[in-house]
Amino acid sequence: MKKLSVVLASAILVSSVSGFLTGCKQDPPAYTGPTDAESSAAAVDPNIKKAYDELETVTFGNYQGEDIEWIVLEKSDMGTLLFSKHAIDYMSFECTDVMESWQTVKLRPWLNEEFFEAAFSAEEQSKILWNETPVYDTSQYYDGEIDELYREPELDRVFLLNRDELIQYYQKTLPNCYCEPTKYAASKGASETDCQWWLRGPCEIKTDQNGTNTGIPAIHGTTDPAAHNYILYQSHRTCGVRPAIWVDFDGTVENTIQPSDWIAEVSCETSKTADGLYVYTIYSGTEYEQTFTMDVNIDDYIRNGQFDLPGFLTERGWTMYDSEGMPTTDVNSHIGSASITNNGIETQFSFISTFIPTKQICDFSIEYRKPHASGTSIYDSEHYYDDNDRKGNFEIYDPMVAFDDHEIDYVVTGFGIDGFNEPTYGLSYSDIVILVYALDFVSDSNNSGKNPFYYTTMEGKESLWCSIVYDMP
């Protein structure tokens, strides 16, 4: 029997990364630092070079015929955090989409697959732990406004440090940011002295007045320890790769994070009550059981392998909006959002489907807003509840639900696919059950402003970001 795990990511995560600008009060500049050739020719501060040369390291793994030396950044009950002393390769960040974020960067699967398999023996691989890797970027709009953009953490065995972590370990266990490449990385063009190296973020996402997003990855720039100045450049270029890993050397680490298995289908039992209501029960008789009762026959909205999400919403009085937040009736083009207004509260719904190699991720959010004025974008409306209203009040907290690691049963077309109408984007049947329950609940005027998952076992504590993860037993 497959099981359903409901993982609630605490809002503490958001607050823990919101201070990543500590020690760097300016916005990330465009790269104006030295080229690799200039770095090779530049004189290196002998004190910095001496501190780097005298670092105590451990040897673990071998890449391209060279043993990998690691700096021990931290030891805790989570294991030992290792950070490569040298740039082990010289590569581009290269993303699978224009967003240029760690979630879609091609360097990420390369580290976790090709490098992982090539650099470590089977015994060494068994000691490397999965790590929940926070992902946060900066978002700069065409009018100059800059926001901090937080994403769902990823699970990685091999990862890059981000700026927050660089600041955390800088001068404690990492005396400086000086880096030399291995012979292999130098042969590919890396500077032999003071090699620039990639961070996983924050990347800089820019949005123009047409709503088009482009991204610029992050590299470590010039850092002055004496001035506590930590500068991150944003650039498209080739840089050194310095991986990091958490390792359990002695087999004492408990409660390690594990990714869920990617499974073909999630079972979902259906039945009907005496008064005609449809009952959808997931994993009956287990501690993960979830039951949703409603008057919706989900099969009415599944046709030829497609789930008609726009049709379901239209029948319940929702208005569709395009990517600019303006009303649209063309359900065959990209739909960015939908809304319904009851009792002075505008409920806004967003659905996103994103494909990452070997991983299917869909998520949706339900927000409660003040009704937006006619002729204006839906995105210009204000929150109905202020932060004080929502703090600790889970009945009205805006929920976001994410589905991870499942194979697709049904395609969702037109809605939240960012223009990519491919058959690799969609939902499992159980995903549709949860989505339909939430939308059916908030469509009822009696439930205006209420959180649908407060009334199920999917309730949270400090946050209602629910990650629905399907696991094998």
- Could you tell me if residue 404 is inside a domain? yes
| Average pLDDT score over residue span 177-182 | 91
- Which residue has better confidence, 127 or 206? 127
- Which residue has better confidence, 65 or 425? 65
Residue 37: is it exposed, middle or buried by C-beta count within 10 angstroms (0-12/13-18/19+)? Answer: exposed
Structural domain of 76? 16-247
* pLDDT, tens digit, 9 for 90 and up, residues 117-165: 999 999 999 999 988 887 777 765 555 566 666 566 677 899 999 888 8
Evaluate whether 23 touches 167 at the Cβ level (below 8 Å): yes
Are residues 204 and 326 both part of a single domain? no
290, containing H or E segment? strand 290-294
For the entire predicted model, the pTM comes to: 0.55
Are residues 238 and 160 both part of a single domain? yes
- Which residue has better confidence, 25 or 279? 279
pLDDT band at 429 (very low <50, low <70, confident <90, very high): confident
Measured CA to CA, the distance from residue 60 to residue 83 in angstroms comes to 11
Q: Is the pLDDT of residue 14 over 50?
A: no
Number of domains in the chain: 2
Q: Is the pLDDT of residue 289 over 50?
A: yes
Are residues 243 and 277 both part of a single domain? no
Q: Which of 247, 282, 305 is the endpoint of a domain?
A: 247
Find all residues with CB under 8 Å of 12, minimum gap 6, and list them: 462
- Could you tell me if residue 149 is inside a domain? yes
What percent of the chain stands above pLDDT 90?
32
* pLDDT, tens digit, 9 for 90 and up, residues 92-104: 877 555 556 787 7
| Average pLDDT score over residue span 159-186 | 87
* pLDDT, tens digit, 9 for 90 and up, residues 359-391: 566 788 899 999 999 899 998 899 999 877 877
SS3 395: coil
SS3 150: strand
SS3 42: coil
Are residues 343 and 459 both part of a single domain? yes
Residue 346 to residues 169, 341, 368, 444, Cα–Cα distance (Å): 45, 4, 6, 12
Evaluate whether 195 touches 36 at the Cβ level (below 8 Å): yes
- Could you tell me if residue 255 is inside a domain? no
